[in-house]
Structure 1
Amino acid sequence: MKTFHCLTTPLILATIGVPAFAQTEDALTRLDPVVTTATASETPLSDIPMSVSVISAGDLSLTDAYVGAEDVTDLLTGVEAAVANGTQVAFQIRGIGAVDHQALTPTAASVYSDGVYLATNVQTGMMLYDLERIEVLKGPQGTLYGRNASGGAINFISVRPGENQRRYVRAGYGNFNRVDLDGAYGNSFDNGFSYRLAGRYLSRDAVLDNVDGPEDAGGVRDEFGLRLGLNWDRALGGSLLIRTHYEEDNGVNATPRNDTLNLSDHEISSSGDGLQDTDNEFYGISAEYERALGRWTLTSLTSFEGYNQDYGFDFDGAAALYGDPTLSANLSYIRDFRQYSQEVRLKTDWDKGSTLFGIHASQEDFSQTYTIWCGELDPNTLIGSCAYVGAGSRAGPDPVSDGTAMTLVTDIRQERTSLAAFTYNEFDLSDRLTATLGARLTHEKIEGIGSGRHIFDDGTIGYNNVNGLGLAAGNNKIDDTQLTGNLALSYKMTGGTAYASIANSYKSGGFNGEVQNNATHFADDGLFDAETVTAYEIGYKGQPSANLAYSIAAFYQDYDDPQARIFVDFQLPDGGSITSNSLSNLDAATSYGLEADLTWQTTEAFMLEAGLTLLETEIDQSSDTGGNAATFDGNPLPFAPDVSATLGGRYAYAVSQGVEGTLSAHLKYRGDYYLDPEGLDTRMQEGFTTLQAEAGFRFVETGMTLTVWGRNLTDEDYAVSGYGFIGYNTFRSDPRTYGVRIGYDF
């Protein structure tokens, strides 16, 4: 049984908080923001019968120092991010969510960008720029919009074109030769048309120290993004908002650290054979149309999202340890993805409540070529300069060549079609008591086809056939229909609202997209099933005065068939072994705990914010899943620290006439957490504390701003994900970063 750790004394350091130069809202508005995606209507946060966290425009100033969406977890409790392969992000909310680095399956915490569902964890590591707010819904979702989510939903909402837009340009420089450029410009016209163009560029040298090879193996960032919004307030009898975006990632992915190496903080070891330039591009367009139809409001959201990827890295991170190049491995991914979706919602308010009906349809097409080799790769023959340690074992009992198996190549293509109908209803049972009822019926069809091959040194290509169980080439289809829903009661009291809720949802099953060993890969027993979560929650949201708001909630989540990446030993012909892994299902798990949040506007100039999540998780495993059931039974879920706590605030003051100053800081403590479900102490990240801070000045007459910022000022070195191969490998956090930024608002 785990025990809850006490918060450490560094929490006291964060009595200054997140800055915002221009805060014109009154205290009540700041403390109780209107949330647009957690209910069928724009609703004050205190009236919503579920746990919702909002990172508002004032809080978002700290994200200017961030490099990706995963960094916002520094501002949240009960929310963590597992980051692998550069920028693939799987968010965990209250312990729910598989730590998975493949890109074929949706994430347990669904991620949206301006209402558009992002279907793979490749898209969830997006650049952050020109955001209005971020809304985080905790617990199963699916009856309001978008797709099913077993863990929760995270909504990134950009600034909307319209009147009185903020226009700005900013430039910054930081350690590791970091260069930041961003800006936004827009205008509105009397005919109801407005537009907004925003962009960001970020470059940075390697932040991890490679002790045995090229510097770039420590991770290089070189990326930019552009977003254009066009808004017509009087289009076709309603309003039409078109958004389009394009982003590129052209850096170098960092090599993971092998746990068998004796390395210091923020160090890795890579000979550089697997070093590859990244060539990733992301793009999309959406059209949101809204109009009144009598008493009803019609909303239509049409979208297209896609990406192309070509990247890789040194897979084992340990070539220097063994002195034997044949024990090293490098990998690369080539991916193409297209996603089309259409959603239509009809919503009406009536005397005693509101009703929403919606339909959602989407189609996805994913293809991937995954290559593993040893040494330097010939791009024409795909043969490495040495034999990859696992290739020979995949050849099977009757190899097609007498030569040496050198390289593995895996191809997979997956098509997913999803159709859903949903409804969300609020009923005022009395002046104080409100009932919420939602339901969703979803049908999904998933088709997969692929093959796993090995290439010999004489150029012969053979299909994998581990243990002689048949050639690794095949296809299969999954048809699944699920009914999910939610029910809540909320009661308004003097100074607050009490609520109780029950909700359930699921995350799709599917195919594994990594190495295919034999014919069983596409057999029914080689697939993984959908996971489901039923969550129970009671809570209270109080606002006893205009300058104080708090919430407290207790939750219990029943987790059935949780998806998890299972690591098993893979035997080699010489009697040795390497670790292979695939996504599979455990039997069950539970997640329960307490959460509390506090926002206090102590004075007109000073705001204090604090949050705490106490979490217990436990796997219940009685059947064998890739090994002995005892390996998992009783273990905690991965990336589920028993304590996560935040403390921060912001202080605004007058430096002199015409000069405004701000001080800010935000601290987060995370307790111990495991990197995978095996619960081994050697794969546990010990608790740590991170601190982000800013000091800024605004020159009122000129519109100029000057900001000094710092991130991970405690210089913590911690694992952001891990996997087994030869030893255990972990991707590492960035060290302390800091810089200066100047800006001009006009």
Structure 2
Amino acid sequence: MIVSHRSPILTLLISFSLSCSGPASAFNKPDELVVTATRRAQRLEDIPASVNVITGARLNAAETLNGAEDATRYLSGVEAAVANGSQIAFQIRGIGAVDHQALTPTAAAVYADGVFLATNVQTSLFLYDLDRIEVLKGPQGTLYGRNASSGAINFLTARPSQDQHSYLRASYGRFDRIDLAGAVGTVLTDRLSARIAGRYLSEEPTLDNVQSDPAIPRGPEDAGGVRDEFGLRASLLYELDDDAALLLRGHYEEDNGVNATPLNDSLDLGKHEISSEGDGVQNTDNAFFGASLEGTAQLSRWSLYSLTAFEGYTQDYGFDFDGTPAPFGVPSLNANLHYDRDFRQVSEELRAQTEIGRVNLLIGAHGAWEDFSQDYLIWCGQLDPDTLLGTCPYVGAAGRVGPAPASPGTALSLLTHIEQTRETFALFTHNDIALDERLTLTLGGRYTYENIEGDGYGLHFFDDGAQGFNNRDSLGPAIGENRIEENRFTGNAALRYAFSDETSVYASFSSGYKSGGFNGEVQNNAAHWSDEGLFGAETVKAYELGLKTRAGDDFAFNAALFFQDYNDPQARIFVDFPLPDGGRIISNSLSNLDAAVSYGFDADGSWSPARGLDLAASFTWLATEINQESDAAGNAALFDGNPLPFAPELSGTVSARYEWRLAQQMRAAVQANAKAKSAFYLDAEGLAARRQGAYATLDASATLYLDAVGLELSLWGRNLTDRDVAVSGYGFIGYNTFRSAPLSYGVSAQLSF
């Protein structure tokens, strides 16, 4: 079947057929797909690009997806670094900086219902009432949205329509997990339809906060992380006629939990354990909101599209930064973090498509304005919220105040403030040219302009009430401003040959980039705004050979060989920070390496060998290497020859679902999904202590369908292998890692109507 939605996502929107009646199958099956970027239906074999799609019942199952990072459990060659509890940096084929600051876009462009999400704070979006998730591997920018150096990930929610599915779902599981979700669609007139969807999720701590220092009382349980989230989305679709429609959406989400304390590598703890005295444990108050208006129309031979959007968030959260109750027995080495952020984004996208002879022509424009501000506070011990003073000097304070401090007192806390605005504008085009009945040439290009302006300061608070700017190494007070202005051209070309209606091959080239910017955290001195606080743009040139084939509706297979030339890769660089007493801590910031390469092989397929049995698998072999020239101090030895972070050499997924009928109005199904990956490094330095070993995870469920009443009853389990793994890391006092959740299980019920 061909399902033609007027989706705002300008990528490959794939709709797969389902092998059984009733609720959607949990697996992707081969069938026709819709390319809404060009307003024409195409099959998967006709697309000269690597595309993965997650669709079906598993998207909305209570036991499955919570945040955006969970999508990677179904994808090979795609990973997610989860920092600070809720900031996601996706890596596709090894490309993507593991960055926890919030000022810059991620290497993988992330979209929600067509709207580009400009910071890694937004990319951890709370998932509910999803229709599908699409992943485009490789640089992009000629079809839609913003430029991206590694690919694009698109989250599409269910749309209102004249014939839509409504449901209510409740789930309860281990750690007192309560998950309530639902969506109700209604038809107001023969042209007007509406949909309201929502979700509430709460969960008690999944990590155990233990006593690792007998001299310090055990800290609060909440240090193990608390979930308390809800979201609400409303949409209204007005269909003027067959070729014109307006879709208005609005959403609001809150995260009111507690971010889990990281694990310091100096502690000898058990699985799923952390240790914190509790000074840095803070309640989270995060809110995300936005609205968009999507319009489609037909003007003569041209199909027109417009997407106007507003997105914003406020954040108030923090955590125990050092990850220990008393670092190395010295309480004054304690450090806690707090972030206070505010962000607004306004964007507009226009595009037009037509066919002229053998050419399918797309032209488009995208513009956006962003405003970001952040206060970043570091303190030691207990915090006085009025004076912002801790009860001891945070580690590093004495080194940053400089040789001539603003006060004879003791510097206790550090506040770093930054404000940034970003203006972007782009023109793009994407064109398919039919050279003959079997051979198609694709040509695309994108011109991008960016203007980034920032200003800020680093300010210490002293115990005598004085305040003073940082001035490490006497290079000038840490206050300043700067501007970055860039113009870039990127593009793509592909040649596809169809051996038959079922099989095609292609060769492609694409280029993309991720812009440079400012580091938004500690500002040591005036050099932050002219040197050490800046990083440049990264660029990627990608080459790919691909094969796509299918056999009817029961089998599909795709494979691709790829090589990516990665220039000026952005990476978190960790450097020793000397302390006046002769000690050292680790400071880090986003910077550029010289170059890297990423190459390998992707394959994925789906097969339905028998009625009710659906199988799917994917596999990626990936090789990455950093190429770094030595500087005068010989620092290249830290990076040269190392693999890129979060780039396992081998990764693969296997999914299986079997459904059978118990009675005329009763069915049952069991399904499982596993992902395995080889070892990988958490950052670019390639140190053994910062290496996550190979592991595999398994999720499974069993469901009973009572079709007469539209009821589903399920038993489910996640991380059945109970693996405790690092989901990101950073250096400070030793090395800290944020940890994965342990095994969880529960029951759920869903009523469809």
**Superposition TM-score, scaled by structure 1 size:** 0.95
Aligned length: 728
Mapped to 2, the partners of 1:378 and 1:319 lie a distance apart of: 19
Alignment match, 2:283: 277
Question: Are 2:256 and 2:283, in contact at CA under 8 Å, matched by a contact in 1?
Answer: yes
Alignment match, 1:22: 22
Alignment match, 1:424: 430
Decide which of 476, 499, 513 is 2:506's aligned counterpart. Answer: 499
Decide which of 665, 687, 693 is 2:672's aligned counterpart. Answer: 665
Question: Are 1:420 and 1:443, in contact at CA under 8 Å, matched by a contact in 2?
Answer: yes
Q: Does 1:441 align with 2:440?
A: no
Alignment match, 2:638: 631
Alignment match, 1:346: 352
Q: Does 1:390 align with 2:396?
A: yes
Of stretches 137-146 and 36-45 in structure 1, the one that deviates more from structure 2 is 36-45
Decide which of 252, 259, 271 is 1:265's aligned counterpart. Answer: 271
How do 1:193-232 and structure 2 match up within 5 A? 193-212=192-211, 213-232=219-238
Alignment match, 2:540: 533
Flag the 1:211–1:595 CA change in 2: closer, same or farther, 3 A.
same
Mapped to 2, the partners of 1:39 and 1:359 lie a distance apart of: 14
Flag the 1:24–1:93 CA change in 2: closer, same or farther, 3 A.
closer
Deviations 1:37-73 (A, max 9, x none): 6766443222110100011124424575332110110
What SS is found at the alignment partner of 2:351? Answer: strand
Mapped to 2, the partners of 1:670 and 1:62 lie a distance apart of: 24
Mapped to 2, the partners of 1:38 and 1:687 lie a distance apart of: 39
Mapped to 2, the partners of 1:438 and 1:146 lie a distance apart of: 14
Question: Are 1:496 and 1:544, in contact at CA under 8 Å, matched by a contact in 2?
Answer: no
Decide which of 460, 482, 495 is 1:489's aligned counterpart. Answer: 495
Flag the 1:422–1:700 CA change in 2: closer, same or farther, 3 A.
same
Equivalent AA in structure 2 for residue 705 of structure 1: E
Return the offset for 1:236.
Answer: 12
Question: Are 1:19 and 1:652, in contact at CA under 8 Å, matched by a contact in 2?
Answer: no
Alignment match, 2:89: 90
Question: Are 2:26 and 2:56, in contact at CA under 8 Å, matched by a contact in 1?
Answer: no
Q: Does 1:175 align with 2:182?
A: no
Question: Are 1:568 and 1:627, in contact at CA under 8 Å, matched by a contact in 2?
Answer: no
Decide which of 708, 725, 749 is 1:742's aligned counterpart. Answer: 749
Alignment match, 2:43: 44
What SS is found at the alignment partner of 1:73? Answer: helix
What SS is found at the alignment partner of 1:629? Answer: helix
Of stretches 49-58 and 480-489 in structure 1, the one that deviates more from structure 2 is 49-58
Return the offset for 1:94.
Answer: 0.3
Flag the 1:380–1:25 CA change in 2: closer, same or farther, 3 A.
closer
Q: Does 1:562 align with 2:561?
A: no
Alignment match, 1:246: 252
Decide which of 457, 462, 468 is 1:456's aligned counterpart. Answer: 462
Mapped to 1, the partners of 2:399 and 2:511 lie a distance apart of: 43
% identical equivalent positions: 58
Flag the 1:20–1:101 CA change in 2: closer, same or farther, 3 A.
farther
Deviations 1:92-117 (A, max 9, x none): 00000000000000000000000000
Mapped to 1, the partners of 2:32 and 2:627 lie a distance apart of: 39
Alignment match, 2:131: 132
Equivalent AA in structure 1 for residue 587 of structure 2: S
Mapped to 2, the partners of 1:235 and 1:381 lie a distance apart of: 61
Decide which of 362, 367, 388 is 1:361's aligned counterpart. Answer: 367
Mapped to 1, the partners of 2:725 and 2:206 lie a distance apart of: 14
Question: Are 2:117 and 2:123, in contact at CA under 8 Å, matched by a contact in 1?
Answer: yes
Mapped to 2, the partners of 1:589 and 1:525 lie a distance apart of: 22
What SS is found at the alignment partner of 1:602? Answer: strand
How do 1:74-89 and structure 2 match up within 5 A? 74-89=73-88
Mapped to 2, the partners of 1:91 and 1:729 lie a distance apart of: 20
Structure 1 unaligned blocks of 5 or more = 1-17
Q: Does 1:650 align with 2:657?
A: yes
Of stretches 545-554 and 566-575 in structure 1, the one that deviates more from structure 2 is 545-554
What SS is found at the alignment partner of 1:216? Answer: helix
Question: Are 1:64 and 1:128, in contact at CA under 8 Å, matched by a contact in 2?
Answer: no
Alignment match, 1:107: 106
Question: Are 1:391 and 1:408, in contact at CA under 8 Å, matched by a contact in 2?
Answer: yes
Alignment match, 2:341: 335
Alignment match, 2:150: 151
Equivalent AA in structure 2 for residue 682 of structure 1: A
Equivalent AA in structure 2 for residue 496 of structure 1: T
Equivalent AA in structure 1 for residue 417 of structure 2: D
Equivalent AA in structure 2 for residue 703 of structure 1: G
Question: Are 1:35 and 1:135, in contact at CA under 8 Å, matched by a contact in 2?
Answer: no
Q: Does 1:55 align with 2:54?
A: yes
Question: Are 2:26 and 2:57, in contact at CA under 8 Å, matched by a contact in 1?
Answer: no
Question: Are 1:37 and 1:135, in contact at CA under 8 Å, matched by a contact in 2?
Answer: no
Mapped to 2, the partners of 1:423 and 1:369 lie a distance apart of: 40
Question: Are 1:280 and 1:311, in contact at CA under 8 Å, matched by a contact in 2?
Answer: yes
Deviations 1:483-528 (A, max 9, x none): 0000001111133110000000100100000100001000046410
Equivalent AA in structure 2 for residue 22 of structure 1: G
Question: Are 1:64 and 1:129, in contact at CA under 8 Å, matched by a contact in 2?
Answer: no
Alignment match, 1:9: none
Mapped to 1, the partners of 2:592 and 2:632 lie a distance apart of: 7
Q: Does 1:715 align with 2:714?
A: no
Mapped to 1, the partners of 2:557 and 2:171 lie a distance apart of: 36
Q: Does 1:523 align with 2:522?
A: no
What SS is found at the alignment partner of 2:139? Answer: coil
Mapped to 1, the partners of 2:725 and 2:368 lie a distance apart of: 37
Alignment match, 2:621: 614
Question: Are 1:62 and 1:693, in contact at CA under 8 Å, matched by a contact in 2?
Answer: no
Mapped to 2, the partners of 1:279 and 1:269 lie a distance apart of: 23
Deviations 1:179-223 (A, max 9, x none): 000000011244310000000000000000000311100000000
What SS is found at the alignment partner of 2:528? Answer: helix
Deviations 1:236-282 (A, max 9, x none): 98210011100000000000000010011100010000010000000
Structure 2 unaligned blocks of 5 or more = 1-17, 212-218
Mapped to 2, the partners of 1:401 and 1:19 lie a distance apart of: 74
What SS is found at the alignment partner of 1:172? Answer: strand
How do 1:299-314 and structure 2 match up within 5 A? 299-314=305-320
